[in-house]
Amino acid sequence: MNLLLIVIFLLLPLLVYAFISPKANIFGRVISIVNTDNARDIFLTFDDGPNGIWTEGVLEVLDRFNVKATFFLIRKNVEKYPELVKMIYERGHSIGNHSCSHSYFLPFSTYKNIKKELFKTGDLILKLTGKKPEFFRPPHGLKTPRLIRAAKDLGYQTVTWSIMAKDYWKNQKAMKIVEDILANLDKGNIVVLHDGVAERENADRKEMLIALETILVTLRERCYQFKSM
């Protein structure tokens, strides 16, 4: 067998792991867990918004519990709901860059195109809030060296997660979402929920909202503290 093919065969599992694993730093530094002095610190994040009444619902629940979170926003939704972007920021939450269109193919694009997409998203958020995002979350968590380098060159820290609930699945019930979160708390403290679903415009987030309230009540009872990035 050709030596190059042998090398590729041996490296392939490592490359796949680096591409899809939220914890892999092989292609460049990513933040999948925040090391704090308090093991019960939780960093709650929301992806794929803003999303109309569902993002408003998330903000209402967070306000009621006095919890701050981080919202990773997609440019196409920022363009559709600029007032919601301002509302997120004015209520004291952090905002991150989640690309223009949430494409699976973004990691394979050219360095120039990646930078352009991230810049356009961040620039629009800056114009609406007066603050440039500090964090970038790759669409679907997929990473390449080029993607991470482009984000770094624009001044972003790349953030993934340690706990991803399956709340973006159709018909996923609230209690299953809660179970996904609570069952994995010992694995890390950056939690992802979705106030939007990139592939479905105006996606119904009712079950996620029900789950969110249960999660906040349960973790408060367990003395967890919620923080934004």
Catalytic annotation, pick one of 37, 47, 102, 123 = 47
Report the 10 Å Cβ neighbour count for 155.
12
Reported as a pLDDT band with limits 50, 70 and 90, residue 12 is confident
Q: Is 48 a catalytic residue?
A: no
The mean pLDDT of 208-229, rounded to a whole number, is 95
| pTM for the predicted model, two decimal places | 0.94
What is the average pLDDT score of the chain?
93
Distance (Å, rounded) from C-alpha 99 to C-alpha 73? 7
- Name the band, by pLDDT with cuts 50, 70 and 90, for residue 202: confident
pLDDT for 188 beyond 80: no
pLDDT over 80 at 47, yes or no:
yes
For 64, the token pair is 């009621």
Instruction: Using the predicted structure, report yes or no on whether residue 7 has a pLDDT greater than 70.
Output: no
Rounded distance between C-alpha atoms, residue 120 and residue 34, angstroms: 27
Q: 3-227 architecture in CATH?
A: Alpha-Beta Barrel (3.20)
Contacts for 113-118: CB closer than 8 Å, 24+ residues apart: 114/146, 114/147, 114/150, 114/151, 115/150, 115/153, 115/154, 117/75, 118/150, 118/151, 118/154, 118/156
Catalytic residue among 48, 194, 195, 204: 194
The string of pLDDT tens digits covering residues 53-92 is 999 999 999 999 999 999 999 999 999 999 999 999 999 9
Domain extent listing, the chain = 3-227
Q: What is the total residue count of the chain?
A: 229
- Please tell me the predicted confidence (pLDDT) of residue 169: 80
Which of residues 46 and 228 earns the better pLDDT score?
Answer: 46
Ranking 30-34, 93-97, 118-122, 169-173 by mean pLDDT, the lowest is 169-173
**Separation of alpha carbons 127 and 140, rounded Å:** 26
Cβ atoms < 10 Å from Cβ of 81: 19
Angstrom distance (rounded) from CA 123 to CA 61:
28
Catalytic annotation present for 47:
yes
Query: Cis before residue 139, ω within 30 degrees of 0?
Result: no
- The answer to whether the CB of 22 falls within 8 A of the CB of 160 is yes
